[in-house]
Structure 1
Amino acid sequence: MAAHHISDDGIDTSLGIPRTYAWIVFALTFGLLISDYMSRQVLNAVFPLLKAEWALSDSQLGLLSGIVALMVGLLTFPLSLLADRFGRIKSLALMAVLWSLATLGCGLAENYQQMFIARFLVGVGEAAYGSVGIAVVVSVFPREMRATLSGAFISGGMFGSVLGMAAGGVMAQHFGWRWAFAGMALFGLLLAVLYPLIVKQARINPQRMTTAANKAAVALTRPLRTLYSSRSVISAYVGSGLQMFVGGTVIVWMPSYLNRYYAMGTDKAGAVAAIIVLCGGTGMILCGMLSDRLCRNRPDRKIALSIAYCLGSCLLLSLAFALPFGLPQLVMICLGMLIAAGTSGPAGAMVANLTHYSVHGTAFATLTLANNLLGLATGPLLTGKVSDLIGLDNAFQLVPLVSIAAAAVFLYAKRHYHKDMARLKGEGVEEKSLEAALEVQS
């Protein structure tokens, strides 16, 4: 069977960028992603307080959480295209300002309707950050680090969720839920000011790469077609989104689960939930590193790993939510979450390998779209509705079963991966010939 190296998609965009500066870019971009998710997930820590103060149902609470992911899913693609056209760095800073101000608006909301509008705007501000941010990160590092970088960067969502729920729970307990939102907003605004002062578009996009991108634009329809032209890349989108259903739902509803069935206050529930989410974030990084190490010369192995992560998390989380309430259950949930989001790194590397380098920002936007529409938006909302009918504990027993569907989709991708990679490599040879002809003409 043919073996395809992870570099088969062509150009290494990190050439000429100092490694120290690359890590500075990663740190600041990662920091803003943490702020993004702190602003998004602080709501979960104050669910019990909002439910009591405004007499809300679980469906209404789920909608407040789901509307952000829904807007991210709907707007990530068009806003990512705009960011590619008008400048990624300026766009990232503007996004951070918008979601931070909208988070401040959540703290000022006087009723459910105002809170819903503020959360809607949080989603608009956060819509393209993940896809544009990861495109920036991938562009400044060698391509052999893609699964590790994808997993590490996306794990910022988990770590941001940890900080948002833990810090938000403590602030809400001692100062009230409004100050929890205000604290997240101020942190985001600070980073939004610093980011464009340190990260410069010219330094992460050398002139030689601009020239290459301009040449590629002559054949733009071909690069764009790689976003959806192969069965493997479509399966990567769908499989990743379905698996996010599981991890995203546990993140959103865990503080409420601990509050209801373990009688924990918002501060303690937020802290325990933060530990569980931290396991998910750590698993993203470790699973991504494992993927890069085992799949250096056989990228298709990352798909087999993704299937293993899906089925393993299904087994562990199903067992966890069938156990009686207590420490053994919490330990088993942590183990399940350690691999539940492990598909993030391999899926990100698959998307990068199966799409043209000139449209990687849009490719990651498509992946973000799938993650949000199939998982992060749908999971909390559907679980809230089921919870209203049968209780949150019973609803949680059904959630891990979605991982079986995710595993089936990744299995389909594995059957077609080699053929799709060979076709993409052939198209790359044709494009290089076209660029050479353009160079001669110029």
Structure 2
Amino acid sequence: MAIHSVALGDAADTTISVPRRYAWVVFALTFGLLISDYMSRQVLNAVFPLLKGEWALTDAQLGLLSGIVAVMVGLLTFPLSLMADRWGRVRSLTLMAMLWSLATLGCALAQNFPEMFVARFFVGVGEAAYGSVGIAVVISVFPAHMRATLTGAFMAGGMFGSVLGMGLGGVLAAHLGWRWAFAGMALFGLLLALVYPLVVSEKRIAPVAAAESSRQRGGRSLRSLFGSRSVISAYVGSGLQLFVAASVMVWFPSYLNRYYHLATDKAGMISAIIVLVGGSGMVLCGILCDRLGRASPPRKIVLAIAFCAISCVLLSLAFRLAPGALQLSLVALGMLVAAGTSGPSGAMVANLTHPLVHGTAFATLTLANNLLGLAPGPLLTGVMADALGLDRAFQLMPLISVLAALVFLYALRHYHGDMHRLRSEMDGMEEGKRCQA
């Protein structure tokens, strides 16, 4: 039977292994719960008009119902990921999924705005650390040379889940009512949450981590989160590049409405296709990085720099063209690589931090992505649009990719030395453990 080694760094070999089939089962279940995460989060958007009409809600109240989830994710991602690394990732993921699914069911049962707000609050608490802890579980059962692929695919799952949540939620709401839109997402999540711990075992995916003492978990391994210039650069470069991707995803429907004079439904449909292209690009760019970087891990960073440069050129050129088929084609090509740095960034973070704190490391990456990209990108693009026009803002916004490329170039200069230093520290920890035994 073929097996996957659970590697501690790129191209490193260890004695820990899991069956190939089991590794893919772990991926499928963890990815499925990620889809459920974003379906439960985004289904609300599909029923905005129905809630507004039934409860006479203001747009501000609808925005608050959506925004409270993002607020809780931002506040709790890091502390909950740290707790999951210490308490057990499988148990933590199961509880998270149960919480957000039950809270989504609570949305279906809500009778007024305050009850819906409380339910959405707990949706945010449940979803806060799932992405970071989930990817830590996934990379623990696959070899290190697949980390860019796995990270890219996992992050793309958020885009796919968002589109599914809004699409299926709209269908359920149209045929059965808005309460069944929430209930359908909740039942899907609860089913997976019940199956997950029956199939995924903490001891099978992390036998070494399960045997470590709390002292070792909280010591030098935790310091690796910010222990090198390369890993800090990975956080910063990833966040800056997502500034560009997030800006296009949020503002492109408005761009189509203003400059193509499309109705909101058609603009939304074309924008959804662009989002799916971006998600597919995450997967494809991750696969490309792993294939070309298997013999030379730093080549993944070179490709991240290339993705930044290509997206900058394509999007800058696209938004200088007149509206039309050529512009849309170039935007799609630009978005195909715009978020392609997600895979190599995740691989760098996994390689440059201790396996015992991978959940917390990916929480740090998620926090950087939000603080540097997903939050300020749409906001600053909107500010520029108010001052210069949305077309001019879209012409300037891709230049952020140049800064992201320079950050990745800085990481490339220090990557070898930082990797060697981490492995020396890990070897020292293992030696000390043997001496104590």
Structure 1 residue 264 and structure 2 residue 263: aligned? Answer: yes
Identity of aligned residues (%): 68
The one of 59, 66, 85 aligned to 1:56: 59
- 2:249 — aligned with what? 251
The one of 305, 308, 317 aligned to 2:306: 308
Q: Structure 1, residues 352-392: CA drift from partner, whole Å, max 9, x if none? A: 11111221121111111111222223334444565566665
Secondary structure in structure 2 of the residue aligned to 1:298: coil
- 1:3 — aligned with what? none
The one of 375, 378, 393 aligned to 1:377: 375
Distance 1:394 1:93, change over 3 A: farther
- 1:408 — aligned with what? 406
Question: Aligned AA for 2:283?
Answer: I
Post-superposition offset of 1:239: 1.0
Post-superposition offset of 1:195: 1.9
Distance 1:116 1:258, change over 3 A: farther
Q: How does 1:9-408 map to 2 (within 5 A)?
A: 15-43=16-44, 54=57, 56=59, 67-104=68-105, 118-171=119-172, 180-206=181-207, 210-211=210-211, 213-214=212-213, 217-218=215-216, 220-255=218-253, 257-258=255-256, 261-266=260-265, 268-383=266-381, 395-408=393-406
Structure 1 residue 423 and structure 2 residue 421: aligned? Answer: yes
Post-superposition offset of 1:345: 0.9
- Check conservation: 1:99, 1:126, Cα contact below 8 A: yes
- Check conservation: 1:307, 1:411, Cα contact below 8 A: yes
Distance 1:190 1:171 in 2: 18
Secondary structure in structure 1 of the residue aligned to 2:244: helix
- Check conservation: 2:217, 2:357, Cα contact below 8 A: no
Post-superposition offset of 1:151: 1.4
Distance 1:438 1:136 in 2: 29
Post-superposition offset of 1:24: 0.7
Distance 2:401 2:436 in 1: 47
Distance 1:12 1:187, change over 3 A: farther
Distance 1:199 1:272 in 2: 38
Post-superposition offset of 1:290: 1.2
- Check conservation: 2:82, 2:357, Cα contact below 8 A: no
RMSD over aligned CA atoms reads: 3.4
Q: TM-score, normalised by structure 2?
A: 0.85
Distance 1:10 1:360, change over 3 A: farther
- Check conservation: 1:320, 1:332, Cα contact below 8 A: yes
Distance 1:43 1:314, change over 3 A: farther
Distance 1:29 1:292, change over 3 A: same
Q: Structure 1, residues 85-116: CA drift from partner, whole Å, max 9, x if none? A: 33222221221233234445556778877766
Post-superposition offset of 1:26: 0.5
Post-superposition offset of 1:236: 0.4
Question: Aligned AA for 1:37?
Answer: Y
Distance 1:94 1:42, change over 3 A: same
Distance 1:418 1:154 in 2: 26
Distance 1:99 1:385 in 2: 34
- 2:436 — aligned with what? 438
Post-superposition offset of 1:150: 1.4
Question: Aligned AA for 1:93?
Answer: T
Distance 1:156 1:342, change over 3 A: same
Instruction: Note the residue ranges of structure 1 that are not aligned, 5 or more in a row.
Output: 1-5
Bigger drift between 153-162 and 188-197 goes to 188-197
Distance 1:10 1:295, change over 3 A: closer
Post-superposition offset of 1:333: 2.1
Question: Aligned AA for 1:293?
Answer: R
Secondary structure in structure 2 of the residue aligned to 1:140: coil
- Check conservation: 1:288, 1:345, Cα contact below 8 A: yes
Secondary structure in structure 2 of the residue aligned to 1:17: strand
- Check conservation: 2:151, 2:286, Cα contact below 8 A: yes
User: Which structure is higher in RCO with an 8 Å CA cutoff and minimum separation 6?
Assistant: 1
- Check conservation: 1:102, 1:121, Cα contact below 8 A: yes
Question: Aligned AA for 1:405?
Answer: L
Post-superposition offset of 1:299: 1.7
Question: Aligned AA for 2:279?
Answer: G
Distance 1:49 1:324 in 2: 37
Distance 1:377 1:89 in 2: 29
Secondary structure in structure 2 of the residue aligned to 1:289: helix
Distance 1:356 1:7, change over 3 A: closer
Distance 1:311 1:78, change over 3 A: same
Distance 1:175 1:402, change over 3 A: farther
Secondary structure in structure 2 of the residue aligned to 1:227: helix
Post-superposition offset of 1:237: 0.7
Post-superposition offset of 1:403: 2.1
Distance 1:295 1:274 in 2: 31
Post-superposition offset of 1:203: 2.9
Distance 1:193 1:218, change over 3 A: closer
Distance 1:375 1:105, change over 3 A: farther
Post-superposition offset of 1:14: 8.1
Distance 1:198 1:257, change over 3 A: farther
